[in-house]
Structure 1
Amino acid sequence: MSIELSMLVPHAPSLCYEEHAPEFQQNIVSGYKEASKEISHIQPDVIVLVSCHWPSTFAHYVDCNPVHQGLLTAQEAPDMINNVPYHFQGDTALAKQLVEAGKKANIPVEGVYSDHFEWDYGTIVPLRYLVPKEDIPVINLSVTLAANLEETYKWGQEIAKVLQETEKKVVFVASGALSHNLVRGRHHMPTPAEHALDKEFVHLLLNKNYQIAYQMLPQYASMAKVESGGRHVAMLLGIIGEDDTPVYLADGQSSGSWNPLITFRKTEVSKNKETAVQEYVK
């Protein structure tokens, strides 16, 4: 099979409970529901998700556990995300293949096999919308602080090779914001300079200028304080194909950050929809 769908998704804590999401994030909720319908239509065998809230120090980690179950109270925001239950199956065999592929490429990749390993809210918040029935296996990945964007991009390429060769249908999810220079007050937008960079970067993505977007990423990440230093985006750019069609579903601010929801699909979308989105980001 192949990677049927890839996406860049938000995980703002205020999105954890749909009924508590503020008005200016309601279009993200709607976008998530549309993406969830797309996933239901695809009927993937597994979701592979990288979360900015699983920051590892030196090695890239792959959660190889056969079952993911627990209660999440987010250390970053325990008053907002408290005792959230989750119960997903994993895919140990495919996760081990990812670890082996990373090692063969001389990338420091390790598997996680602990029964007591807890998920983070960057993993759980998107999945509450994308897989509300918790009926699709999940493999989650870390972002690695000691890895630069080039190494992370290469890791994404190695992940893509494994996923393209598997007999399973796969959805890849990069969970994280673009500009992420946080301030108190969830209603705050990024600064005009940061947001101008957001718009230019998104414009490149929507016009399928993926290589130019990758070339822009280091300076953009530094200047706009892209979440996790842009590592989740670098991994995504290593995974999406040149012919994948971008669809801009939603966006919104959260405490000075910018949070688009963009999918990259194997199937073409209507020209009118693509054009409308491109006009938005100019």
Structure 2
Amino acid sequence: MNQHPAARLTWYAVLLVLALVFSFPLYWMAVNSLQPLFTGMTWFPVRPTLENFRLAFTLQPYWTFFRNSCILALISVGIPIFTSFFSAFAFARLKAKLKGVLFMVILSTMMIPPTVTQIPQLVLFKQYGLLGTYWPWIIGGLGGSPFIIFLYRQFFMNVPKELDEAARIDGCSTFAIIWRIYMPISIPVVATAAIMSFNTSWGGDYLAPFMFLQERQYPLSTQLMQVGYILPSSPNVDLFQVKQAALLIFVLPILIVFLFGQRFLISGIMTGAIKS
């Protein structure tokens, strides 16, 4: 608030330029999704039409893959959010030997790319007959997410220990402390973790469904990259405009979740980053 008006104006100009740069791919996708078929790529809308959106739903069983994406997102968000909460509470509040070492081991797993472990996982899930089911995501979520555990733990470390002591004097058990104290005050951090997990699951989880699921179970991210849209009478003709329309609908849930949850996202990150 004490900045010079010229400096403030400069920062606003920089932010505006960055906003335009990052939003340009979305604009380009929207413009080309409104173009008639076989007109080529364009930077500005010419003869806009909504026919491509109708074709996006009719040429492929779009809603089936959309439902699959919702199921995977629900599993990938709900289970790690819940299990990571208890793991982070244990690391932040409970006393145990080698707790710090174990926490560093969990954090070290963040440095391993997921693609490195997917082949061993494929072999393991095949041996136990779990391919073609959602069990790989359920089992993976039971152990929690290293990043979410870290985010929760940083937040719990900022909570005064006097709250725990007062609750125990009143006769609260550990689970009662979690339910009555930590869960109500953790809504911003939980929302932050949920938004990040949803974005990763909805838009970034392409390879794992391709390896572990059958084609009818693919989410939208895998289906749009694997099959795409072609002209039924000529399989070699790619319907570029229809694909852009399908991709635009695909990214809408991510934009909606971000717009409605950005205040929780900002407050959750700031709360977990500041050490009292």
TM over 0.5: no
- TM-score (normalised: structure 1): 0.25
Larger Rg: 2
**Higher helix share goes to which structure?**
2
- TM-score (normalised: structure 2): 0.25
